[in-house]
Structure 1
């Protein structure tokens, strides 16, 4: 259920137009942050389960420990974390049953929203590979958006919600990434035009902020949000210490 705060954020993001809207997107694209991500490998025999819109569990729900990650697709450090630790999280933790990993999309700008709509397109079993493909090509597609012409940028701010998301995804090359994943363009068009899903993704992000997730990457083990933990070097010792108890 969406809170009033979540609905407000969703409306602002989905209805974003004009110079202020593009400035918000451009600022977010340029800003450096650190955000965790999982790669596009299979999650082992446990598989992937969609808990909610933009929320996926890798591994067994009954695992003794649950690690939650709050992720964004327009955060450059996400790709670094994926390269550094993503495979290990799946292979050494989720697939072995030591922990389950819950990935929560925490959208923060229109480009991030378009990417999240695409990674959440299709069956639950497609999410991890979609996620890895979009993260793996992050430098390329963010670079294309930063180099967008004024005429291209105008298309991100006018027209229907679907047309704005589709223009953004097309110029970024996100369609190409997903077509290589076996999607048809018509299916991608439908996913990018899904305003109900977009509102839920945005409302979820507002809810996470209300719960104290103020920066990225943010991690929680069980119900405990880990303060000052924003990279693999600081996360891994805490994760291992709890597993070894």
Structure 2
């Protein structure tokens, strides 16, 4: 659970990242789970991930595209991403807030862009540049970027979602994967492991 002290620290870091400016215009917000695929699919996959997690970035960049094409795009698996904050917390928080600000249709575009830029961010240490590029990939302007990461209400909503979902699932690391409500793995899964998890979920009694 995020402590009050950590909440204050994250908010301060986000303001600095945005180069503290007055909010510009209205930015769309979304709440609740963000998902891809057929809601009626027999297999429900939930991934708990952080935008500042190197293992999550590797999974997104190297493994997830093929899995998505094989299972999610074909309607066999319904995928849900649940947000978790790992150090540096302000980077993960800003990324998820920007994805929400971009709106439901662009949420995963922003998440993917943030993960795609993860290696460059790690090399340069320039988190703001990576997150701004991800925001622009989702259709946000720099003014909207500043307004979004400086939105205290959006930060509180993010932390509330995380506290609720992480406690319920007892998440201790990222990424963590559940299939049909059963915890299957903690740590990035391979293609072979994912195939096995889908097959087992299909066979398990419901």
TM-score when normalising by structure 1: 0.65
Asked if 1:215 is matched to 2:173, the reply is: yes
Q: Aligned in 2, Cα 1:137/1:12: closer, same or farther, shift over 3 Å?
A: same
Q: Aligned in 2, Cα 1:235/1:56: closer, same or farther, shift over 3 Å?
A: same
SS in 2 for 1:68: strand
Q: Deviations over 1:144-192 (max 9, x none)?
A: 33xx7xxxxxxxxxxxxxxxxxxxx53x442134235432112112211
* Structure 2 equivalent of residue 239 of structure 1: 198
How far is the alpha carbon of 1:10 from its aligned partner? 5.9
What pairs up with 1:183-222 in 2 under 5 angstroms? 183-211=140-168, 212-222=170-180
SS in 2 for 1:124: coil
Q: Aligned in 2, Cα 1:82/1:180: closer, same or farther, shift over 3 Å?
A: closer
Asked if 1:80 is matched to 2:38, the reply is: no
Q: Aligned in 2, Cα 1:130/1:10: closer, same or farther, shift over 3 Å?
A: farther
Query: Is contact 1:117-1:198 (8 Å) kept?
Result: yes
Query: Is contact 1:72-1:78 (8 Å) kept?
Result: yes
* Structure 2 equivalent of residue 126 of structure 1: 106
Q: Deviations over 1:194-242 (max 9, x none)?
A: 2222122222322333221112111111222225564224343122232
Distance 1:173 1:242 in 2: 36
RMSD: 2.6
* Structure 2 equivalent of residue 224 of structure 1: 182
Query: Is contact 1:229-1:235 (8 Å) kept?
Result: no
Distance 2:7 2:101 in 1: 18
Query: Is contact 2:36-2:79 (8 Å) kept?
Result: yes
Consecutive unaligned residues of structure 1, counting only runs of 5 or more, are 1-5, 23-49, 149-168
Distance 1:58 1:205 in 2: 19
* Structure 2 equivalent of residue 92 of structure 1: 70
Q: Aligned in 2, Cα 1:197/1:181: closer, same or farther, shift over 3 Å?
A: closer
